[in-house]
Amino acid sequence: METPIALSQEAAVALLQRLDGLLLYRSVPQDPVFVAWRELLQAGCGVPTVEDVPGETVDAVGSVLRAYGAWFEAMASTAVDWPRHVIGQVLLADNPWTRRLAAVEAEHLDDALKHYDLGGMAIAAKQDMSVLQAVLPWCGQALAHWVADQANLEHCPAPWEPLVQEADPTLDATALSQLLSSKDWGAELPLFFAHCQQRGVGLWGRYRAFRWGAGQLSGISTPDPVQLNQLVGYDHPTQQLLANTERLLRGQPALNVLLYGSRGAGKSSLVKALVNEYGDRGLRLIEVAKAELEALPTIVEQLRSVAQKFILFVDDLSFEADDEAFKALKVVLEGSATARPENVVVYATSNRRHLVREFFDDRPRPRDADEIHSWDTTQEKLSFSDRFGLTLTFEPANQDRYLEIVNHLVDQAGISIDPEDLDFRARQWATRHNGRSGRTARQFVDWLQGESL
């Protein structure tokens, strides 16, 4: 987009007024960096800012310089330039328009836009995009010169121009590049639709992994980077889990899955690797701790109308006999009067085949004051794991499988070591440490990498 030679106070006033008239993208100017930028324009136009002390004479020069410093510092935390930051906020905006775009089937979008089946929102969206595109030139050298003019400075302040533009993984690089060069964002509706479909909107677009806690979802900014090609040794259960996840992504019936087996086999890593593999196709992972399982029905209802597909991930699952979380998970697995959402599955890991702990005293014996149908209760406990549609078993690693995993990880790490020496040291490591498992293999290879540095 072409940058004007000079920015004026009159243009700033007009732009601020246009921003007040946004209809759908009102959340974009509420971004903290955008707020700092807007306060800079207000200060340059003589409007008091939040840093001005009420009741005192406003220092116009000080207000402009403080506002510019606040915006400059905010931009420095983003590691991108102003246009890329604004475009990121627009592409990930969560509003009725973007949610509607995400809900329209791809093959029907052209007809919907052509015949205005999306109503007045399409017109409002185009107007808002025109306004937001107009803020892009207010940055860099042009903005620094404008600040110097408003504050009557002899020299311009340093402009914000990052040396390196850090790529934002939540944004599609092609969409970002196209919007940077576009003359008219209002003509880019198919691009916005594609981004909403592929990357998601709002919270679902900014993050791929989430954690439920204190009654709300929070995005995980640095999720476990484990990749599927790092996991080896359990090909059959892995392929079954991948096939089930593919069904979920295609909108076909998918099963809830219990990954059961020995510790350190890579069950949790396998589930976490799925979102790294399929995140671009709309898969999201929500980690729910055992202590939060009672919130599962609430979480599921929040996801029902969202376009993305979700794995509710419960790690190291087991229950005491009278655990209330047992009932909450049972409702999600078996359903209730409300239909089960087609975009949500539960993937749980456990070291126990029978998820509810059972004691010998639980076995039915004829005693006074005992439950008459106690065997039914016992069967309910024992059969709880059967409520998962698919149970994948991860057997303890024998020596051959353990060495296979070690060799695979060594190859990926690019470590040069004699094969016989590697086998000997790997077996020795397993004996002296945590036994043969994928986790032990990873720890051993990490140790080798440390030695090679």
* Cβ 165 vs Cβ 80: under 8 Å: yes
- The dihedral region occupied by 366, where left means phi > 0, alpha psi between -120 and 50, and beta the remainder, is beta
Residue 356: DSSP 8-state: B
3-state SS track over 202-266: HHHHHCCEEEEECCEEEECCCCCCCCHHHCCCCHHHHHHHHHHHHHHHCCCCCCCEEEEECCCCC
Question: Mean per-residue pLDDT for 323-332?
Answer: 67
Q: Indicate if the pLDDT at residue 169 is higher than 90.
A: no
Backbone CA torsion sign across 406, 411, 416, 419 = positive
The pLDDT, as a whole number, for residue 383 is 53
pLDDT in tens, 206-234: 899 999 988 899 999 889 999 998 888 88
Among candidates 229, 207, 235, which has minimal Cα distance to 219?
A: 207
Q: Which two tokens stand for residue 98?
A: 């973007």
Distance between CA atoms of 349 and 50, rounded to whole angstroms? 50
Output the average pLDDT for the chain: 82
User: What's residue 287's pLDDT?
Assistant: 95
- 1 pLDDT above the threshold of 70: no
Q: What is the pLDDT of residues 53-107, one digit of tens each?
A: 555 545 778 889 999 999 999 999 988 999 999 999 999 999 988 888 777 665 5
CATH code of 209-394, in short, is 3.40.50.300
Q: Where are the domains of the chain?
A: 9-206, 209-394, 399-452
Closest by CA to 290, choosing from 317, 311, 308, 265, is 317
Task: Name 338's Cβ contacts closer than 8 Å, sequence gap at least 6.
Answer: 301
The reported pLDDT for the residue numbered 325 is 63
Using the predicted structure, report yes or no on whether residue 110 has a pLDDT greater than 80: no
Tens of pLDDT, residues 348-401: 888 765 545 544 455 555 554 454 444 344 444 445 566 788 989 888 888 888
Give the pLDDT score at 5.
Answer: 47
Confidence at residue 388, expressed as pLDDT on a 0 to 100 scale: 82
70 vs 111 pLDDT, higher one = 70
3-state secondary structure of 435: coil
Average the pLDDT over 118-134 and give the result. 86
Tens digit of each residue's pLDDT (9 = 90 or more) over 229-256 = 888 888 899 999 999 999 999 989 999 9
Q: Which helix (H) or strand (E) holds 422?
A: helix 419-432
Q: Quick check: 274 and 309 in contact, CB under 8 A?
A: no
Would the pLDDT of 135 be above 70?
Answer: yes
Q: What SS3 class is residue 71?
A: helix
Q: Which residue has the higher pLDDT, 187 or 370?
A: 187
Q: Kindly tell me the burial class for residue 115, based on how many C-beta atoms sit within 10 Å of its own C-beta (0-12, 13-18, 19 or more).
A: exposed
Where do runs of H (alpha helix) occur along 337-383?
A: 374-382
Which pLDDT value is given to residue 41?
Answer: 94
